[in-house]
Structure 1
Amino acid sequence: MAKALMIGAVLALSGCATALPTVQVTRFHLNQPIAPGAVRVEPFVADDSMEFQTYASAVQGELTRLGFPAAGADGGQYAAVIHVTRDTREAMARRSPVSVGIGGGGGSYGGGVGVGVGITLGGRPKGSVVTELRVQLKRRAGGDVVWEGRAQLDARENAPAAQPGIAAGKLAAGLFRDFPGESGRTITVK
């Protein structure tokens, strides 16, 4: 009896482990060092909602961990411009499946341009919420994009990972894992 309960518990836990959604991450940069400096997290489109603040806090936490502390009144050396999209899998599939990321820059490290193309195909079960976090790290002086990334999480509507608080932390952690990451490559983060 005890052995059967233990096997049942192991199977239940393994089912939970496979049910945790993964994050798909793609990043682009100029393959040059990015000097740490103070950064201010800003919305792509004016947004002061609590939901935006949840994502902004998660991004700032990851940037601080990487040596990019929150900027003071001067605005710092960088702006981290973030854009969050949440929608159903079905609505995302109706949009154009091709996205293009382009980064260019100059400054003390030289110049360069990186281009990437991503294709998103449908096929996830109905009732999924897709949350996408995009971040561009720009130099304040000149506005050059030195790094940009996209992280996407697909979770069932009623799953904890579909909630903004959990999704924000998981997306930001995945996006900044092994920063700056390999440019143009999509990885899966558990």
Structure 2
Amino acid sequence: MAKHWVMGALLPAVALLGGCATAVSPVEVTRFHAPDPVARSGGFLIESMVPQASDSIEFRTYAAAVSQEMQRIGFTDEAGKQTLVPSEYVVRVDAQRSVQSPLVNRSPVSVGVGGSTGSYGSGVGLGIGIDLSGKPKNIVTTSLSVQIRKRADNSTIWEGRAMTQAKEGTPAAQPGLAAAKLASALYSDYPGKSGETITVK
């Protein structure tokens, strides 16, 4: 059975973090939707695309950020409401984080030849540079995927994906700050131009 979340307790924290969202790197956003007009109102419930992740605090953080944006553009979060009629829409949410070392394609020693081109002896100067700056921080890539589906026929009316990167250990790499920024970027100018990839700063 799908689980639906009451977002009220998390919204103040998400809103507070959203005020600091400028610390996050630019967000790459791609969206697809049905022909206009795209729905801008109606009741919804949030579900996780990955059921086993639905109990995690991190998922709830992203779900709260998505709920806040859905309500901002005109939809109604029906989580926790006692209604006999199911919500008109189901909003499916998934968040992924990966960590990559910047040293994968990086050499600590570089050799450069200055001057004219040609054989080894024709150059004016030879320089050897050694990187003494220390090990660079890993890069955290965070992505948020959202689908808005009609409950009646399970058809998708809108979907999008937002992705950003930050250095590991920085505030921008934290789930709360990333969630607010990603959700805000994903829903900017909703529904957006279908099939277009944009960068939101």
Is TM more than 0.5 here?
Answer: yes
1:126 CA displacement? 5.8
Alignment of 1:93-108 (within 5 A): none
Deviations 1:96-128 (A, max 9, x none): xxxxxxxxxxxxxxxxxxxxxxxxxxxxx8611
Counterpart in 1 of 2:96? 85
Gaps of 5+ in 1: 1-17, 94-124
Counterpart in 2 of 1:181? 192
Larger relative helix fraction: 1
Identity %: 47
Quick check: 1:69 aligned with 2:73? no
Counterpart amino acid of 2:69? E
Alignment of 1:132-143 (within 5 A): 132-143=143-154
Normalising by structure 2, we get a TM-score of: 0.66
Distance 2:25 2:147 in 1: 24
> Post-superposition, which runs of at least 4 consecutive aligned residues in structure 1 deviate over 2 A?
72-75
Alpha carbons of 1:153 and 1:32: their partners in 2 closer, same or farther (altered >3 Å)?
same
1:61 CA displacement? 0.2
Counterpart amino acid of 1:174? A
Deviations 1:16-69 (A, max 9, x none): xx9740110000012321231111111001111111100000000000001111
Distance 1:148 1:189 in 2: 17
The RMSD of aligned alpha carbons is 2.1
Q: What is the SS of the residue equivalent to 1:174?
A: helix
Gaps of 5+ in 2: 1-21, 105-135
Distance 2:179 2:30 in 1: 16
Quick check: 1:165 aligned with 2:176? yes
Normalising by structure 1, we get a TM-score of: 0.69
